[in-house]
Amino acid sequence: MTTTEQHPFIRLLGGVCYITVLFYLFHLFFPSDMIILISSILAAILLGSTLFFVSTFSRIIVIILVTVGGFCFYVEGTPLDDALLGFGRNINLLSLFLLIPLIGTFMSIAGYLSLLKEQVQKRQKEGGASHPYRLSFLLTILIGVLLNFGSMPIVKKIVEGSFSSYQDQKLTLTIMRAFGFCIFWSPYFVNVGIVLVLFDLSWFEIGGYGFAMGLVYIVVCLLMFKQISFPNDPIIEKELQFDESVDSGRSLMPLFSFSLVLIVLSFSLDILLEVNMLTIVCVLALVLPFFWAIIAKSLSDYLLAVSEQVQSSFFRLKNEIAVFISAGFFSVAIAETEIGAYGSAFLYEASFGSVFILSYLLIAFAILLAQIGVHPVIIVSGIGSTLTPSTFGVSSEYLALVMIIAWALATQLSPFSGQVLMASRLINKSTGVIVKQNVRFIAILSILLTAIVYCFHLFGWV
């Protein structure tokens, strides 16, 4: 942990992050104008604090979004209290980034992740087939659903300790591409949560279609696997050292049980309750690991880990806090003006009234802006909050799926996205090395997935 991250004020801001989210969740179940205003003011304080720690480019983006948003509120004569509420617009997204990692924290403290590693190593020790890329792809798909891009270093560590021969860069890119599958449908991912809220949908209205697109994505990954070729990526040969003292006979049932209960509760509550999936998964991430830790008799260790996580959260998520809160403020502000109507009209003219061209324009626009560091949340929040589906003759479900594709592909190609930065750190190479490998991959997917979601529209499914 860096000296800056250890500063008492930084740790205090980490606590403010969680207090903000808890106020927001409390308001959802016990509505209070005062509570939501307080959480919005706290969000504004957090946003202002990030300006001292984020990069110059991010700082400029934030200032532009807040300035333009503030100008829109001023022109419309919006009361100060209502304008302040704009800062709380995306607290729900911040909730996902702060609370979902609690699931991974518990799984680590309970030993579930080390148990998974032991089982993989046991299979290799007993003479299992050596397929590091296939196994890494499968593991990332399975645990990435719950652990987000935090699954990437976990899977790589497991593979590194279980296989004696592999190409490091090829392995890392395989893991990163596998992670992309989860982005299309997982209710624990922020892009899915934001479109559900923006278009007032339940997960079941788009989740199945997102999963189908994810399967197509997997097929493309498999077909293009042999084309992965880095300029300097030698085969790593090493002799494995297995820890003979480890009890490799332990069952994976605790891991399966926890994951199954979490997933079943998420989908069941989405059906039974009149709240959106984003809220459900946030509450479950807050509550389920706590009670499961009690059952597993690891509560003290879990709470200690959570305390450390809370204190480091602000510095760890400073970029997300800056972008998400400013983007939410901006989207609320432009929704107060006629910009949305003008924007819809412009896109309709630019697409010549074609739903297919419109869809491709939105996806291409997100991918291009992501290349210069404009986070997809700005595009999805800004465009999504201004577009009127009926203007284009499409459903809310259709636009939601287009936005999910835009986010998924943009983050796979952007040198500023979390998974690309993570992959870059794992291979100790520049992000450009990763991005270059994905250009053709994303170009093919952008056309193919646009065509598929358009077919959903033609057949009247969405």
State the helix-helix crossing angle for 132-147 and 168-183, rounded to 10 degrees.
40
Span 364-385, average pLDDT: 82
Higher pLDDT: 12 or 160? It is 12
Task: Tell me: pLDDT of 246 over 60.
Answer: no
Digit-coded pLDDT (tens) for 43-87: 999 999 999 999 898 899 999 999 999 998 998 888 999 999 999
User: Is residue 225's pLDDT more than 80?
Assistant: yes
User: What pTM was computed for the model?
Assistant: 0.88
Q: Return the pLDDT at 298.
A: 92
Q: Which of 448, 5, 419 is nearest to 221 (CA)?
A: 448
Q: Which bin fits 19, alpha (ψ -120 to 50), beta or left (φ > 0)?
A: alpha
Q: What is residue 341's predicted lDDT score, i.e. its pLDDT? A: 67
Cα separation, 222 vs 83, in Å, equals: 48
CA–CA separation, 178 and 136 (whole Å): 8
Dump pLDDT digits (tens) for 247-287.
555 778 888 999 999 999 999 999 998 888 999 999 999 99
pLDDT band at 314 (very low <50, low <70, confident <90, very high): very high
Q: Where are the domains of the chain?
A: 7-230+251-458
Mean pLDDT of the chain: 89
The per-residue pLDDT for 179 is: 95
Query: Mind giving me the DSSP string for 21-70?
Result: HHHHHHHHHS--HHHHHHHHHHHHHHHHHHTTTS-HHHHHHHHHHHHHHH
Q: Where are the alpha helices (DSSP H) in 351-430?
A: 355-371, 376-384, 389-392, 396-413, 418-427
**Among the listed residues 57, 157, 168, 176, the one whose alpha carbon sits nearest the alpha carbon of residue 108:** 157
Work out the pLDDT band at 164, boundaries 50, 70, 90. confident
- The answer on pLDDT for 2 being more than 70 is no
- Among 112-126, 137-151, 162-176, 353-367, the minimum mean pLDDT is found in 112-126
The percent of residues in the chain predicted with pLDDT above 90, rounded, is: 60
Helical packing angle, 318-335 and 376-384, nearest 10°: 20
